[in-house]
Amino acid sequence: MVKLDLGGCTSFVKDAEYAEYLKKALAAFDTLESGKGEGNDFLGWKHLPSETPDSLIRECEAVRDNWISKGVNLVVVIGIGGSYLGARCVIEALSHNFSKQLSGEKKFPEVVFAGNNLSEEYLGELAELVGERNAALVVISKSGTTTEPAVAFRILKCQLEEAYGRSEASARIVAITDAHKGALKTLSSQEGYKTFVVPDNVGGRFSVLTPVGILPIVLAGFDIREILSGAAEMEKSLALRSEENPAVRYAAMRNLLYSTYGKKIEVLVSYNPKFQYFGEWWKQLFGESEGKDKKGLFPASVNFTTDLHSMGQFIQDGSRVMFETVINILKSNRSVVIGSDEGNLDQLNYLAGQNVEHCNAMAELGTKLAHIDGGVPQLEVTIEKIDAFNVGGLLYFFEFACGISAYILGVNPFNQPGVEAYKKNMFALLHKPGYEEQTAAIEKRLEK
Ligand code: PA5
């Protein structure tokens, strides 16, 4: 399960200060657990691991099996922000690095993502792929009105209708949206799409264990029951009110470093390329939950050792504004041993007989010590290996810690008012009906 080691912070903070922040974290834990804090109508994520009915998973499996029986080999999952990052992070963490290139028959459809940008090139190239393959769509939008997924859906839906006819296209589309309202809900009822519900009391970035994440993960062939069971074990252990609770400790330390030591940036570090999208999910979780009222740690992510050859210089030696949270993975799921070479021109014989993962572990330890020496505190979150159970536990660990942490900071973890500003300008610039005044104002501003 998830373990937290704060040993890499001890030389930076005083025990008494940490003890004070532990108290604040326990008070924030109480706020979260009592359900009386700001944003308390969005706490539905807390019991998803233990309360998700198996019937929901079976319903998702039925969609998958039905599509497989039609020969579907490509599913485009359309969504943005919380309506896509959770599924993508889990699928990438659990996928074979080269699943696309490996030969052999694929048991499950390939899952690709759309609606998370407005790049014409991306959509045009995706349309080429959809044209070549036997495709289906999952469109996810809680509000049902977000522009990016709506644009992608309009284009891909039209393509599916042209390829398969309107009725068969409808059988190849599933919508995940609000139970009652929104354009996507209305369209789904009109066209007869199968729908799943995004619960009212779960915000986008906390929705990976609702149908928003469950359906894409099931479609891609991964074991959602194991993911939920890892998350359920975390749910149980993090519910204990204790100074030993790892979510309480993590939230306490990151707030102490931020408030007292000027560490304004938290860098999530992993040593496995499969965790790149975990970093993206984590950045949204903490960035949208905490970055408001002119407060909050800026969440960044890197993948080592790759980024030690790019960002490593800055982290070691640049502005001392960050600390690192390292995801430490104890065991590799593979065994690759470095061989001996007679010529030893690369001078690697000293590593002969060693697993590559041993080198990775030594790079991790060496980096930790170097970064501590360079003034970068280290928090370490350890899991045993990358599998469905541990990934589930890690998701829940960060969700729960995020709730506590934002309450320590004194912000509402569950809203995102700042996201609206760009939308208003974009709508005005695109001449959206209803934005006439803003259009006139913005065009005047741009004339200057
Ligand atoms: O976390 C959030 O609430 C956001 O990132 C949303 O998920 C994102 O903006 C997409 O919204 P919607 O699902 O309404 O299309």
Report the residue among 45, 77, 78, 80 best suited for mutation to probe ligand 1: largest number of ligand atoms under 8 A from its CB. Answer: 80
Q: Which atom of ligand 1 is nearest to the CA of 182?
A: 14
Query: Does residue 292 line the site of ligand 1, with CB under 6 A?
Result: no
Q: Contact 326/378 with Cβ under 8 angstroms?
A: yes
Q: What is the CA radius of gyration of the chain?
A: 23
Query: Which of 399, 379, 396, 376 is CA-nearest to residue 388?
Result: 396
| The domains spanning 3-37+228-409 and 44-222 adopt the same CATH topology | yes
Homologous superfamily in CATH for domain 44-222: Glucose-6-phosphate isomerase like protein; domain 1 (3.40.50.10490)
Q: Check 309, 420, 437, 447 and give the catalytic one.
A: 309
Q: Is 161 a catalytic residue?
A: no
Each residue's pLDDT expressed in tens, for the chain with a length of 448 residues: 899 999 999 999 999 999 999 999 999 999 999 999 999 999 999 999 999 999 999 999 999 999 999 999 999 999 999 999 999 999 999 999 999 899 888 899 999 999 999 999 999 999 999 999 999 999 999 988 899 999 999 999 999 999 999 999 999 999 999 999 999 999 999 999 999 999 999 999 999 999 999 999 999 999 999 999 999 999 999 999 999 999 999 999 999 999 999 999 999 999 999 999 999 999 999 999 999 999 999 999 999 999 999 999 999 999 999 999 999 999 999 999 999 999 999 999 999 999 999 999 999 999 999 999 999 999 999 999 999 999 999 999 999 999 999 999 999 999 998 888 899 999 999 999 999 999 999 999 999 7
Convert the pLDDT of each residue in 345-373 to its tens digit: 999 999 999 999 999 999 999 999 999 99
Q: How far is the CA of 83 from the centre of ligand 1 (A)?
A: 6
Query: Does residue 274 line the site of ligand 1, with CB under 6 A?
Result: no
Instruction: Count other Cβ atoms within 10 Å, centred on residue 330.
Output: 12
- Work out whether strand 3-5 and strand 378-383 pair parallel, antiparallel, or are unpaired: antiparallel
Query: Does residue 204 line the site of ligand 1, with CB under 6 A?
Result: yes
Q: Which CATH number fits domain 3-37+228-409: 3.40.50.10490, 3.30.1050.10, 3.30.460.80, 3.40.50.300?
A: 3.40.50.10490
User: What is the per-residue pLDDT for 420?
Assistant: 87
Domain segments of the chain: what residues?
Answer: 3-37+228-409, 44-222, 419-447
Rounded to two decimals, the pTM is: 0.97
User: What is the per-residue pLDDT for 448?
Assistant: 75
Determine the Cα–Cα distance for residues 403 and 407; give it in Å rounded to an integer.
Answer: 6
